[in-house]
């Protein structure tokens, strides 16, 4: 079993970017993962939601929890490449219409941006999570480092469904 924690970024340039704080637990030869993330998206000029222009600002804080099954593509003594799929729950305020997604007030203060509105990227709490990544271990595999790419989406089950992509770097122990 390995426990990991680190840093991450959301990729959807140039329109959406965000910071992510990831944490994970893997077990049974790193084939199963419980992943948690805490992140906030910032939306910049030019972003459109279902053909309607969206305002500039910050999305609400998101918390996600996901359970994944990983498949080892390469499993060497100190290096592992993997791909995985799983289910995720995203705790956020949902947009129930295009109008709700585009009608918002953004307040910026000196401590942190505060966003009053709903999640204009994802219209569902339930999502799927896919991932690919590399792990590099110490000689005894007791610690290591992991670089992973993750994709979170509701698979078109609810609108909006923009999907979110993350790159995470975690230290393992």
Tell me how far the alpha carbon of residue 51 is from its chain's centroid.
24
φ/ψ of residue 141, rounded to 5: 60, 20
The answer to whether the beta carbons of residues 137 and 80 sit under 8 Å apart is yes
Q: Which regions in the chain score pLDDT beneath 70? A: 12-17, 41-60, 93, 95-121
The domain spanning residue 25 has which CATH number?
Answer: 2.40.160.20
CB 69 within 8 A of CB 131: no
Between CA 96 and CA 73 the distance in angstroms is 40
Percent of the residues in the chain that have a pLDDT greater than 90, as a whole number: 47
Domain of residue 45: give its range. 2-172
Q: Rounded to an integer, what distance in angstroms lies between the CA atom of residue 170 and that of residue 22?
A: 8
Q: Which helix (H) or strand (E) holds 100?
A: helix 98-102
Domain count, the chain: 1
pTM for the structure as a whole:
0.78
What is the rounded distance in angstroms from the CA atom of residue 108 to the CA atom of residue 113? 5
pLDDT of 45: 46
Is residue 44 a contact partner of residue 52, using CB atoms and an 8 Å limit? no
């Amino acid at each position: 079993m390995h426990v990991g924690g680190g840093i991450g970024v959301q990729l959807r340039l140039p329109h959406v970017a965000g910071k992510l704080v990831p944490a994970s637990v893997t077990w049974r030869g790193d084939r199963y993962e419980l992943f948690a993330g805490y992140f906030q998206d910032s939306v910049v000029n030019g972003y459109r939601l279902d053909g309607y222009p969206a305002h500039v600002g910050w999305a609400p804080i998101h918390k996600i929890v996901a359970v994944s099954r990983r498949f080892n593509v390469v499993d060497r003594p100190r290096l592992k490449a993997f791909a995985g799929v799983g289910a995720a729950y995203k705790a956020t305020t949902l947009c129930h219409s295009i109008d709700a997604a585009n009608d918002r007030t953004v307040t910026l203060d000196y401590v942190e941006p505060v966003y009053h509105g709903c999640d204009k990227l994802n219209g569902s709490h339930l999502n799927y999570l896919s991932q690919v990544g590399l792990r590099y271990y110490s000689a005894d595999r007791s610690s290591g480092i992991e670089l992973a790419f993750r994709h979170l989406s509701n698979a078109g089950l609810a609108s909006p469904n923009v999907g979110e992509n993350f790159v995470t770097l975690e230290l393992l122990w």
